[in-house]
Structures are given as C-alpha cells and as structure tokens.
Structure 1
Amino acid sequence: MREHTLSVPLAEQWGEGIVSIEKGTALDIEVRLESVHEGILVSGSVETVAAGVCSRCLREISQPVEVEFQDLFEYPGSETADFELQDDHVDLETLVRDAIVLSLPFQPVCRPDCPGLDPATGDLLTESPGDAQAPIDPRWAALQKLTETESAD
C-alpha cells in the first residue's frame, strides 16, 4: 500500500454550463494505492473550487468541491475492466474528472434563500417586503373589480 498527497493545476476546464472548474485551478488530491489480486485498488479524495454564476440572480459565485472516489485498475487483458494499468502506472485523470464533474451542482445558488431577479424588470430582487402584492394577471383583472366592490359594501 502507498499513500500520496498531490496538488495539481488543471490543464483545461472541467465541466460545462453555469458552473465549472476553471483551467489552472489547483486540485488537492489524497490517494491510497493498494495491491489486490485483480490489480490496484485506488481510493482517495479531491478538493478544489468551482466557479460560475448563481442560477437565480446571475451573481458570480465560487464554492468548494470535495469528492471521494474509489475504483479498481485491473491488470491488462481483462475484458470487463473499466480502468487498466498502463505500464505499471495508474492514470487518475479520468477517474478524478468524472467524480468532480458529476458532483457539480446542476443549478448552483449564491445562497439557499436567493430571491433571484424580478421577472418584469430583470432587476435584482432584495428581501421581499411582507405587504408587497404580486402583479395581477390581466385575464383575472375583472374578478379583482368584483372583490373591490364587495369590500366597499
């Protein structure tokens, strides 16, 4: 068994959409390599920082990403192997990239209670006051007049 701690800068961007790991961002990897009968069992964790925009208000965000991974790198010749040893070396790039990209949020937010943008004006919403009324759909405006006349009586 061997244990290694690595810090590796990314050569290219990982992930697409509104959040990704940018080129040059450091990956802090702790990995354990164990010899087993079928090959090398690789387990470890990786920490990095994802950058993107909030899916509600479009502010720039940056959030930590921590992922654990484990897989078996089999000796060459096995037909069922997902990963194979190559010249007695283990290539972690695909394993780590898949673990990180799959853990990225689909719709990241700057904070859980982010109010987002006003659908009418596109301005950033602040904390909504309690007495604010939602705009009335013009198709229902005639019913609003009925409730106003009943209140006046």
Structure 2
Amino acid sequence: MREFTLDLPAPAKWGEGLVSVPEGEPLEIDARLESVHEGILVSVTAATRYVGVCGRCLTDIEQPVEVEFQELFAYPGKEAEDFEVRDDHVDLEIPVRDAIVLSLPFQPVCQPDCPGLDPATGERLTGSPEERLQESVDPRWAALRQYTTDSDA
C-alpha cells in the first residue's frame, strides 16, 4: 500500500453547464493505492472549487467541491478493462475528472432560498417577501378576483 498527496492544477476546463472547474484551478488529491490480486485498487479524495452563475438569479458563484471514489486498475490481460495498469503506473486524470464533473450541480444556486429574478422587470428579487412586487394577474382571470368562497350564496 502507498499513499500520495498531490497538489496539481486542473489540466483543462471540466464541466459544460452553468458551473465548471476552470483550467488551472488547484486540485488537492489524496490517493491510496493498494495491491490486490486483479490489479491496483485506488481510493481517492479530490477537492477543488467550481465557478459559474446561479441558475435562478444569474449572479456569480464559486463553491468548493469534494469527491471520494474507488477504482480498480486491472493488470493488462485478455479482457478489455476500463482502466488498466500501464508500465506499473495508473493514470488518475480520467476518473478524477469524471467524479468531479458528475458531482457538479445541474441547477446551481447562490443560496438555498434564492428568489431568482422578477419575471416582469428582470431585476433580482431580494429582501423580505413584503418588499417583493405583487404578482400581476392575467386579465383573463381578473374577473375571478370578485368571487370569494365566503359569500352567503
């Protein structure tokens, strides 16, 4: 068994949605490699940060991301494997990238209760609910405002 701690820059931009890990962003990788009968079992904890925009209000955000995974790098043999040991080395770039990209949020938000944007003005809705503008009523439904369930009829 061997343990390694690596501090490396991200080799390329990882992710294509609203958030991504930019190229050159520092990656902290703690890896533990264990010899097993089939190959080398790699246990990894990788940490970095992603940047992008909030999916509701479009403000800039940056958040840390940390992933843990295990992968078996098999010795070369007759069967085709996803990951193989090559010249007594394992290449962690693809599994680290895959784990980090899959952990990025699909709809990132700047805060859990982000109110988003006002659909009429496009301004960011902030503050207390009393400060928010009243919803505009569709004119086709305006006549129903006169109807109440408390009437005696």
Same fold (TM over 0.5): yes
The corresponding residue for 1:111 is 111
The corresponding residue for 1:63 is 63
Give the Cα–Cα distance (whole angstroms) in 1 for the partners of residues 69 and 78 of structure 2. Answer: 22
Give the Cα–Cα distance (whole angstroms) in 1 for the partners of residues 44 and 114 of structure 2. Answer: 34
Is the alpha carbon distance of 1:131 and 1:29 closer, same or farther for their aligned partners in structure 2, counting shifts above 3 Å? Answer: closer
Give the Cα–Cα distance (whole angstroms) in 2 for the partners of residues 121 and 137 of structure 1. Answer: 16
Is the alpha carbon distance of 1:63 and 1:114 closer, same or farther for their aligned partners in structure 2, counting shifts above 3 Å? Answer: same
More moved, 128-137 vs 20-29: 128-137
Q: TM-score normalized by structure 2?
A: 0.91
The corresponding residue for 1:139 is 140
The corresponding residue for 2:27 is 27
Runs (4 or more) in structure 1 with deviation over 3 Å come to 130-133
Q: For residues 68-107 of structure 1, what are the structure 2 equivalents within 5 Å? A: 68-107=68-107
Structure 1 gaps, min length 5 = none
Shift of 1:80: 4.8
The corresponding residue for 2:50 is 50
SS in 2 for 1:100: helix
More moved, 49-58 vs 79-88: 79-88
SS in 1 for 2:130: coil
Give the Cα–Cα distance (whole angstroms) in 2 for the partners of residues 131 and 36 of structure 1. Answer: 61
More moved, 75-84 vs 92-101: 75-84
Instruction: Report if the CA contact (8 A) 2:3-2:32 is conserved.
Output: yes
Is the alpha carbon distance of 1:98 and 1:78 closer, same or farther for their aligned partners in structure 2, counting shifts above 3 Å? Answer: farther
Q: Percentage identity across aligned positions?
A: 64
Is the alpha carbon distance of 1:135 and 1:147 closer, same or farther for their aligned partners in structure 2, counting shifts above 3 Å? Answer: same
More moved, 7-16 vs 131-140: 131-140
Q: Report the AA paired with residue 72 of structure 1.
A: L
Give the Cα–Cα distance (whole angstroms) in 2 for the partners of residues 49 and 35 of structure 1. Answer: 31
Q: Report the AA paired with residue 51 of structure 1.
A: V
Give the Cα–Cα distance (whole angstroms) in 2 for the partners of residues 111 and 16 of structure 1. Answer: 21
State the superposition RMSD in angstroms. 1.9
Instruction: Report if the CA contact (8 A) 2:9-2:25 is conserved.
Output: yes
Structure 2 gaps, min length 5 = none
Aligned pairs, number:
149
SS in 1 for 2:120: coil
